[in-house]
């Protein structure tokens, strides 16, 4: 089926370090990408998004980079804190491209474990 791909790896970082979570997507027609964070027992929470006409976007302590040439997304978290421990998902807007839809195709997620 459709997928934005990564197997569920675990990224373990020390508190205060920077974290980089990577994601590969499969559909070159995708025009919009999002990162979500899911804490245990909760629904996903929006972190940051980026449109395909951009290659970088910054938020508070987070930066998303988009490389359309190799169909790769990354999420950088600065000064990682214990409260950042969660599963992080990348997602792309699904078809119809250019149409009005909230359909998202999610990756399988990365577990970020922050060590104090």
> Which residues are at the interface with other proteins (CB under 8 A)?
1-3, 32-34, 41-46, 49, 89, 91, 93-94, 96, 100-109
Q: Minimum distance between the CB of residue 106 and other proteins, rounded to whole angstroms?
A: 4
Integer distance in angstroms from the first to the last C-alpha of the chain? 39
Distance CA 28, CA 97 (A): 11
Closer to other proteins by CB, 12 or 45: give it: 45
Supply 60's token pair.
């508070």
Q: How many CA atoms lie within 13 A of 22 on its CB side?
A: 7
Residue 116, preceding peptide bond in cis (omega within 30° of 0):
no
Q: Minimum distance between the CB of residue 16 and other proteins, rounded to whole angstroms?
A: 29
Closer to other proteins by CB, 99 or 116: give it: 99
Closer to other proteins by CB, 29 or 79: give it: 29
Closer to other proteins by CB, 10 or 42: give it: 42
Cβ(79)–Cβ(61) below 8 Å: yes
Q: Minimum distance between the CB of residue 85 and other proteins, rounded to whole angstroms?
A: 18
């Amino acid at each position: 089926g459709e997928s934005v791909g990564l197997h569920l790896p675990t990224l373990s970082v020390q508190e205060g370090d920077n974290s980089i979570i990577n994601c590969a997507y499969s559909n070159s027609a995708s025009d919009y990408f999002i990162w979500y964070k899911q804490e245990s027992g909760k629904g996903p929470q929006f972190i940051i998004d980026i449109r395909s006409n951009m290659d970088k976007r910054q938020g508070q302590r987070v930066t998303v980079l988009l490389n359309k040439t190799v169909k790769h997304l990354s999420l950088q978290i600065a000064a990682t804190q214990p409260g950042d421990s969660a599963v992080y998902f990348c997602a792309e807007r699904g078809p119809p491209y250019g149409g009005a839809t909230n359909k998202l195709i999610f990756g399988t997620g990365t577990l970020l474990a922050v060590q104090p």
